[in-house]
Amino acid sequence: MALYDLNPMSTIFSKIIDGELPGRFVYRDDICVAFLTIAPVTEGHTLVVPRAEVDHWIDLDPETIAHLSQVARLIGVAQQEAFGTARIALIIAGLEVPHTHLHVLPIRSESDIDFGRADASVAGDVLDDVAQRLRDALGTHGSN
């Protein structure tokens, strides 16, 4: 894996990864983490984020992007189990935060992919419950 220079100003995602800001983590390894977004579009909306601060996903080395995809797939399988949706969307938009992140969303229809529907008012206890359901589903698949 290539070594990346971290930006002098850490992104909000780096601050979450480093524990400077709270995050509802559902997965962690040496390359990436996955945590719930604080403004979900659908229940279980999870971000898969590399530890390295790389703004644009096409600037990641092939091994890292492949690993992020594998983790996103694992999260998607757990989401399907935990929330019973027929499909899981995977989106890399990268406009909100200058740190690569994959959106993994349980969806029932194409309208569920509308980021204009993001809800920043979901109660903390609801997000805690969603995170636990995902962690439980991930545990059945041998994940951390």
| Token digits of residue 78 | 């757990």
How many whole angstroms separate alpha carbon 35 and alpha carbon 109? 23
The H-assigned helical ranges of the chain are 12-17, 62-83, 124-139
- For residues 12-38, one letter each, b for 16 or more C-beta atoms within 10 angstroms of the residue's C-beta and e for the rest, the string is ebbebbeeeeebbbbbeeeebbbbbbb
Task: Reply yes or no on whether 67 is catalytic.
Answer: no
**Alpha carbons within 13 A on the beta-carbon side of 88:** 22
Catalytic residue among 67, 99, 101, 103: 101
CB neighbour list of residue 135: distance below 8 Å, 6 or more residues apart: 26
Active site positions, annotated:
101
